[in-house]
Amino acid sequence: MKITDLLAVESIKLGGSATDKKDVLIQMVDLMANSGKVNDKENYLAAVMAREEESTTGVGDGIAIPHGRCKGVSKPGLAAMTLPAGVDYAAMDDEPVNLIFLIAAPEGAGSVHIDILSKLSTMLMDDDFTEKLRAAKSVEEFRSIIDQTEAEKDAADAAKAAAAATANLAADAKAAGTDLIVAITACPTGIAHTYMAAEALEKAAKARGIILKAETQGSAGAKNILTADEIANAKGVIIAADKKVDLARFAGKQVLQTTVSAGINKPDELIDKIVSNQAPVLSGDASAAASAAGQEKDSAAHTFYKNLMNGVSHMLPFVVGGGILTALAFLLDMANAGQGFYGSGSFLAYTFKLIGETTFGFMLPIFAGFIAMSIADRPGLAVGFVGGAIANAGYTFSYISGVVAVNQGLADSAPGLTSGGFLGAMFAGFVGGYMMLGLEKLCEKLPAALEGIKPVLIYPLLGCFLIGIIMFTVNPIFGAINTGIANVLENMGTANLVLLGALVGGMMSTDMGGPINKAAYVFGTAMLAQGTESGQIIMAAVMVGGMVPPIVIALSTTFFKNRWTKQDRSGGLVNYIMGLSFISEGAIPYAAADPIRVIPSCIIGSAIAGAMSAAFHCTSPAPHGGFWVIAVIGNPLMYFVALLVGSVVGCLILSFLKKPIQEEA
Whether residue 391 is predicted with pLDDT greater than 60 in this model: the reply is yes
The candidate with the shortest Cα–Cα distance to 546, out of 509, 592, 597, is 509
User: In this structure, are 472 and 515 located in the same domain?
Assistant: no
Give the orientation angle of helix 421-443 with respect to helix 300-332, to 10 degrees.
130
Question: Considering the entire predicted model, what is its pTM?
Answer: 0.51
User: In this structure, are 288 and 304 located in the same domain?
Assistant: no
**Cα separation, 642 vs 646, whole angstroms:** 6
Convert the pLDDT of each residue in 330-361 to its tens digit: 778 877 765 667 678 889 989 998 998 898 88
Handedness of CA 361, 362, 367, 371 (dihedral sign): positive
User: In this structure, are 620 and 533 located in the same domain?
Assistant: yes
Res 108: pLDDT = 57
User: In this structure, are 538 and 614 located in the same domain?
Assistant: yes
User: In this structure, are 506 and 615 located in the same domain?
Assistant: yes
Mapped onto helix, strand or coil, the DSSP state of residue 50 is helix
Domain boundary residue among 262, 293, 324?
A: 293
User: In this structure, are 450 and 465 located in the same domain?
Assistant: yes
Q: Work out how many domains the chain is built from and give that number.
A: 4
Least confident of 13-17, 179-183, 315-319, 537-541: 315-319
Res 219: pLDDT = 58
Q: Does 605 reside within a domain?
A: yes
Looking at the chain, the whole-number percentage of residues with pLDDT higher than 70 is: 87
Q: Does 162 reside within a domain?
A: no
User: In this structure, are 281 and 344 located in the same domain?
Assistant: no
User: In this structure, are 637 and 532 located in the same domain?
Assistant: yes
Which residues are CB-contacts of 587 (< 8 A; sequence separation ≥ 6)?
Answer: 509, 512, 549, 550, 552, 553, 575, 598, 602
Around Cβ 1, how many Cβ atoms within 10 Å?
A: 12
| Cβ atoms of 356 and 329 closer than 8 Å | yes
Whether residue 286 is predicted with pLDDT greater than 50 in this model: the reply is no
**Cα separation, 298 vs 293, whole angstroms:** 10
**Cα separation, 247 vs 622, whole angstroms:** 27
User: In this structure, are 106 and 74 located in the same domain?
Assistant: yes
User: In this structure, are 602 and 622 located in the same domain?
Assistant: yes
Q: Does 115 reside within a domain?
A: no
Residue 27 CA to chain centroid, in angstroms? 39
Q: How confident is the prediction for the chain on average, in pLDDT?
A: 83
Res 290: pLDDT = 36
* Paired residues of 102 in beta bridges: 79
Instruction: Please give the average per-residue pLDDT across 609-620, as a whole number.
Output: 93
443 flagged as catalytic: no
Instruction: Please give the average per-residue pLDDT across 449-470, as a whole number.
Output: 87
Least confident of 54-63, 231-240, 636-645: 54-63
Whether residue 293 is predicted with pLDDT greater than 50 in this model: the reply is no
CATH number of the domain that residue 201 is part of: 3.40.50.2300
Domain boundary residue among 490, 519, 537?
A: 490
Q: Compute the chain's Rg from CA coordinates.
A: 29
Res 665: pLDDT = 40
Q: Does 378 reside within a domain?
A: yes
Q: Does 15 reside within a domain?
A: yes
Q: Choose, from 70, 113, 187, 618, the residue flagged as catalytic.
A: 187
Range of the domain at 325: 300-490
Q: How confident is the model at residue 395 (pLDDT cuts 50, 70, 90)?
A: very high
User: In this structure, are 74 and 175 located in the same domain?
Assistant: no
CATH number of the domain that residue 64 is part of: 3.40.930.10
Whether residue 583 is predicted with pLDDT greater than 90 in this model: the reply is no
Domain boundary residue among 444, 463, 490?
A: 490
Give the orientation angle of helix 421-443 with respect to helix 378-393, to 10 degrees.
150
Q: Does 160 reside within a domain?
A: no
Q: Around 565, how many Cα atoms within 13 Å sit in the side-chain half-sphere?
A: 5
Res 192: pLDDT = 63
Convert the pLDDT of each residue in 300-314 to its tens digit: 666 776 788 778 778
User: In this structure, are 482 and 509 located in the same domain?
Assistant: no
Number of helical (H) and strand (E) elements in the chain, helices listed first: 26, 11
67 flagged as catalytic: yes
Q: Does 665 reside within a domain?
A: no
Q: Does 663 reside within a domain?
A: no
What DSSP element (H or E) covers 133? helix 127-135
